[in-house]
Structure 1
């Protein structure tokens, strides 16, 4: 059947680190390589919804997660112009009352937690290095690294993100990222007491939200239509973000006036990709944004990568040939990830079309229903 005892993980982001943690908990040897020579984290904060909290509990990380972030239950949807609440959707923990349904945390805190745990569990992590070339046979994969060294592995996992080089090695230029026409802006603020939940504000030209990250910290996001994907000078980002918040009232409108430091604005064009065929070739498999990068409209991009990592670690120690095990991984992941990818893109498309008949509340409820199901 071919036991998997040594795995290479390519990419040190959320998906790659979770894969390393999950594999080490199964007793599998892990080398992880990351192209960046120093750990750097892009972004401000992240929402970890109930399905992700469930997977963190399975990885033994839920307590550390809660300490590093801010637990909350509900999602509130508000009218962007007035700040009036339209609905508050109650959250439901999937791992018992001892944990909240959702956790908001800074990306830096999340990365520090995951990288520390991966190394504590014995994963060998090398920065400033990636894969130069691959060659595989029925028994393993020969890897040549960018520093000239080499290694042989039972399985290689590509978790190197939206612009994955590993994807190119498997599929050539068949799949390339696509700009959706939108961008997202993020900025940190002190957290007022009333933001004890995810607060989403529906605007005329885009949507905004406030996400608690800690007792004293939250972040704001706002989406905008940027049809020409313009280059943004860093010095202009604060003013540009304020412009995108024109028309928002209530708390969001008040906070917009406080966006003054362009260095603290995180701006990201939305780019997506979905590999519509099996995500593996032989003994090389891709996970996370390398194969299903979605827009942030449903807050599930990182969650899908984390689920990928956990499910893959379960399947590769199972019965059958490695191909059969990877096919089972695909059976558990493909439709779930496609639903998130397509639904997230649809939500963004409806924003750009200014389709006021679009039932965003219904879509959020459907997403919560789907992701609550066992994987």
Structure 2
């Protein structure tokens, strides 16, 4: 018999939905609350690298979305003018029948995750979050923002960078900080040569092109934005073109196609890392609520997905809840800290325009670390 029979998940993003799926597949009752009244997702696309593909396969999700995704094998690094610097072959960690990497639109991924979670029996309530909770040795009494109440064996805070659950656990001790950079994204019709993750780097900045479907890819670039200035939504197209001014080759050709500010997704980069156990009693943080970092290594969502898989495994592996949560921390803390710190390092080196920084070496190191079993 499982130590925990019912779990409340706060937050209906990638981490929360994957946790719901993983727990339901283990037979644990799950209720999920999401603050948004309309369960939509922002943004353009997401990269799921080899380790993430492996865990999505273990969650039984790969087949459901591969038709809506773009499978690719390699990561290539180029100069800002498009001259090749390195090509890093992918690893088929999910098995020979599955790709090394996947690019997928966030909407398509959300559709698969939300529909699967509900099909498996997750009870979902939108427009609701946690107001407060009190816990004792056998459970957590939760008061919700709509005035309702419930009691659960475990509460999982998967409510992102500005986590309400984190605040209830730790107060103001862990607050997101602006890193000095922002990320810009824009969708384009895929061109034939972008059949892999293409990263462009140099003194002029860092940008990338990611295939999402046969007819779709997205461009991203990071920029140094001292003071985190407010950006006029009407000027985002011009702002993105300006920040791509130093790029030639394929990125330079795409730059002049950016004319509609409504098609540009702009986001200041903020980070937070809970540098102690992510749980107190029967309340646990996962994903960005515990370890939000920047997208420089493309592993933010991947770490949340891994959290979900490990949590379900440990909750059904025997021992007391305290022992289970400590085993979860033993498997997750250093791995997530590595990704968080190295992602921030890459951003800092970009802002410093450090010519000695070995980005290729860092990518190779990340791929080697994340290929290890969790």
Instruction: Give 1:1-375 correspondences, 5 Å limit.
Output: 3-80=3-80, 82-375=81-374
Shift of 1:301: 0.1
In structure 2, distance between residues paired with 1:162 and 1:205: 29
Q: Deviations over 1:175-194 (max 9, x none)?
A: 00010100000000000111
Where do 5+ consecutive residues of structure 1 fail to align? none
User: For this pair of structures, how many residues does the alignment match?
Assistant: 374
User: C-alpha separation between the residues in 2 aligned to 1:319 and 1:108?
Assistant: 37
The answer on whether the counterparts of 1:205 and 1:224 sit within 8 Å (CA) in structure 2 is no
Task: Write the distance in 2 (CA, Å) between the matches of 1:370 and 1:68.
Answer: 28
Q: Which runs of 5+ in 2 are unaligned?
A: none
Per the TM alignment, residue 43 of structure 1 is displaced from its structure 2 partner at its CA by 1.1
* SS of structure 1 residue aligned to 2:304: helix
Contact map agreement 1:271 1:294 (CA 8 A) in 2: yes
Alignment root-mean-square deviation, CA: 0.8
Task: Measure the CA separation in 1 of the matches of 2:322 and 2:204.
Answer: 47
For residues 273 and 106 of structure 1, what CA distance do their matches in structure 2 show? 25
- Are the counterparts in 2 of residues 245 and 253 from structure 1 also a CA contact under 8 Å? yes
TM-score with structure 2 length normalisation?
Answer: 0.99
- The alpha carbon displacement at 1:65 in A equals 2.7
Contact kept in structure 2, 1:2 and 1:322, CA below 8 Å: no
Structure 2: distance between partners of 1:363 and 1:351:
13
CA contact (8 A) 1:205 1:352 kept: no
Contact (CA 8 Å) 1:206, 1:225: kept in 2 or not? no
Separation in 1 of the partners of 2:263 and 2:186? 6
**Paired residue secondary structure (1:174):** coil
SS in 2 for 1:368: helix
1:67, 1:118 → 2: CA distance?
19
- Do the aligned partners of 2:205 and 2:246 also contact (CA within 8 Å) in 1? no
Once the two structures are TM-superposed, the CA of residue 96 in structure 1 deviates from its matched residue by 1.4
* Preserved contact between residue 2 and residue 318 of structure 2 (Cα < 8 Å): no
Aligned counterparts of 1:19 and 1:96: Cα–Cα separation in 2: 23
Taking the aligned partners of 1:185 and 1:110, their CA distance within structure 2 comes to 20
Q: CA deviation at 1:2?
A: 6.9
